[in-house]
């Protein structure tokens, strides 16, 4: 296991119960430092894309390390503020520009306007003159149609061919464009980053007032041994060169912003569950390990066919008596899609994992579950409570950072007319 010991698992079971998420402070801080070390020519400000995991204890660690915030919604802005971020360190790029952002704009929260309608809306408010614009540069690199956020099939950002229209709207509302933003999806290929950085710099040519280029997130990590991880130094080096060339050509020294979510969080959290039942469909079928968790905590496998490392952990003395066999790991919801071992990239198909023969009561630890798991699960489906979250401190102590939801909290907003 990445950072948990068997003793940790026993302590977690006794103190908070399963399922629970455990974040590792040392990994969070090390990842933040790797991000702060991203190559740049004329200044860098990395922002944490907080939708990956928005719990206050995680935000506070990144605040201490000196990261800013990329918020995806107005409620996320408020959450970052409550966790201690100053308004000057938060930037919003949202698909829904809610009316109450008018107050935050006044307080100095920055924004990347993501559509022509958002330019109209923000311009009419007249609360702030300085804006960023998010463009869809016409190219994407996401792993599949659900993680691809660039190109003609993506709804995110102002389409590249609407550039002139965006410029004239900004002039009409007297908006000063200080930043160009692109975010085109997960990728580890330096060539793709280079292409996107140069497309984004080209957009900046049309805006003499632009001082900052924001290249978004999408730094892919390797959850499974056959996946390729992003080397930040490798993807950043050619980008730095492009900024230098741009400065030589134009005299403009642009600052760089990046917004990783996955890179900062993915490996920094494990989901601790237990096997609570075992079922079998006989010789032609499968042996199913049923966890006390599932899509209520981790939806990525059901949604994308995403693969996560799975460790079946029994008492240390027993491990040697457990043969390795092919098993299917499923969740606890009444839903056949609640599957932890889909075929890679194909959530419709079921696959097996070669794991020690599981028994009821064994721990099952799902790793690399920090990004888009706790924050993006089918919470409260089947009326299961939201799971607890724990921080493994740098000294090894386990500290509760989010309590398990109570039954009353699940139904507290219901009204019987």
Ligand X SMILES: *Cc1c(COP(=O)(O)O)cnc(C)c1O
Rule CB under 6 A: say whether 49 interacts with ligand X.
yes
Segment near ligand X (CB under 6 A), from 46-54, 56-64, 237-245, 274-282?
46-54
Q: Judge contact between 149 and 187, C-beta under 8 A.
A: no
CA distances from 267 to 148, 164, 328 (A): 21, 42, 23
Q: Judge contact between 220 and 265, C-beta under 8 A.
A: no
Q: Judge contact between 349 and 343, C-beta under 8 A.
A: yes
Q: Which of residues 185-244 bind ligand X (CB under 6 A)?
A: 186, 216-219
Place of tokens 């009821």: 360
Q: How far is the CB of 133 from ligand X (least distance, A)?
A: 13
Kindly state the tokens that stand for 30.
Answer: 């090390």
Is the alpha carbon torsion for 90, 96, 97, 100 positive or negative?
negative
Rule CB under 6 A: say whether 146 interacts with ligand X.
no
Q: Which of 211, 259, 292, 389 binds ligand X (CB under 6 A)?
A: 259
Residues in the chain: 417
Rule CB under 6 A: say whether 63 interacts with ligand X.
no
Q: Which of 40, 183, 240, 311 binds ligand X (CB under 6 A)?
A: 183
218 or 337, CB closer to ligand X? 218
Q: How far is the CB of 287 from ligand X (least distance, A)?
A: 34
Contacts of 41 (CB under 8 A, 6+ apart): 240, 241, 243, 244, 247, 253, 256
Cα 216 from Cα 213, distance rounded (Å): 9
Rule CB under 6 A: say whether 51 interacts with ligand X.
yes
218 or 356, CB closer to ligand X? 218
Q: Which of residues 87-116 bind ligand X (CB under 6 A)?
A: 93
The helix/strand/coil state of 24 is: strand
Cα 30 from Cα 50, distance rounded (Å): 17
Q: Which of residues 71-90 bind ligand X (CB under 6 A)?
A: 72
Segment near ligand X (CB under 6 A), from 1-9, 16-24, 260-268, 407-415?
260-268
Q: How far is the CB of 49 from ligand X (least distance, A)?
A: 3
Q: How far is the CB of 164 from ligand X (least distance, A)?
A: 24
Q: Which residues bind ligand X (CB under 6 A)?
A: 49, 51-52, 70, 72, 93, 183, 186, 216-219, 259-263, 371
């Amino acid at each position: 296991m990445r950072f948990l010991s068997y003793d940790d698992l026993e302590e977690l079971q006794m103190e908070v119960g399963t399922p629970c998420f455990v974040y590792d402070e040392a990994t969070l801080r090390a990842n933040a430092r790797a991000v702060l070390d991203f190559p740049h020519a004329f200044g860098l400000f990395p922002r944490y894309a907080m939708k990956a995991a928005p719990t206050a204890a995680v935000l506070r660690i990144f605040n201490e390390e000196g990261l800013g915030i990329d918020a995806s919604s107005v409620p996320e802005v408020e959450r970052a503020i409550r966790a201690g971020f100053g308004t000057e360190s938060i930037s919003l790029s949202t698909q829904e520009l809610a009316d109450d952002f008018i107050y935050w704009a006044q307080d100095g929260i920055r924004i990347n306007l993501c559509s022509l309608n958002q330019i109209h809306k923000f311009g009419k408010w007249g609360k702030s003159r300085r804006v960023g614009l998010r463009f869809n540069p016409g190219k994407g690199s996401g792993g599949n149609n659900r993680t691809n956020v660039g190109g003609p099939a993506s709804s995110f950002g102002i389409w590249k061919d609407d550039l002139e229209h965006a410029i004239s709207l900004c002039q009409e509302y007297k908006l000063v464009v200080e930043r160009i933003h692109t975010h085109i999806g997960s990728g580890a290929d330096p060539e793709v980053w280079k292409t996107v950085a140069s497309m984004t710099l080209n957009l900046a040519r049309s805006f003499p007032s632009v001082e900052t280029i924001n290249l978004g997130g999408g730094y892919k990590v390797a959850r499974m041994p056959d996946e390729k991880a992003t080397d930040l130094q490798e993807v950043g080096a050619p980008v730095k060169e492009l900024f230098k060339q741009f400065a030589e050509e134009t005299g403009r020294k642009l600052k760089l912003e990046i917004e990783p979510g996955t890179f900062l969080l993915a490996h920094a959290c494990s989901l601790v569950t237990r096997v609570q039942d075992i079922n079998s469909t006989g010789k032609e079928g499968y042996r199913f390990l049923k966890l006390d968790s599932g899509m209520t905590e981790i939806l990525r496998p059901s949604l994308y066919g995403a693969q996560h490392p799975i460790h079946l952990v029994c008492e240390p003395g027993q491990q040697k008596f457990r043969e390795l066999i092919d098993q299917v790991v499923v969740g606890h919801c009444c839903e056949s899609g609640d599957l932890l071992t889909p075929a890679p990239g194909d959530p419709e198909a079921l696959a097996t994992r070669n794991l020690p023969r599981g028994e009821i009561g064994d721990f099952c630890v799902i790793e690399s579950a920090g990004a888009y798991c706790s924050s993006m699960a089918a919470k409260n489906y089947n009326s299961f409570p939201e799971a607890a979250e724990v921080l493994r401190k740098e000294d090894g102590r386990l500290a509760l950072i989010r309590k398990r939801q109570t039954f009353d909290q699940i139904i507290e907003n219901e009204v019987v007319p």
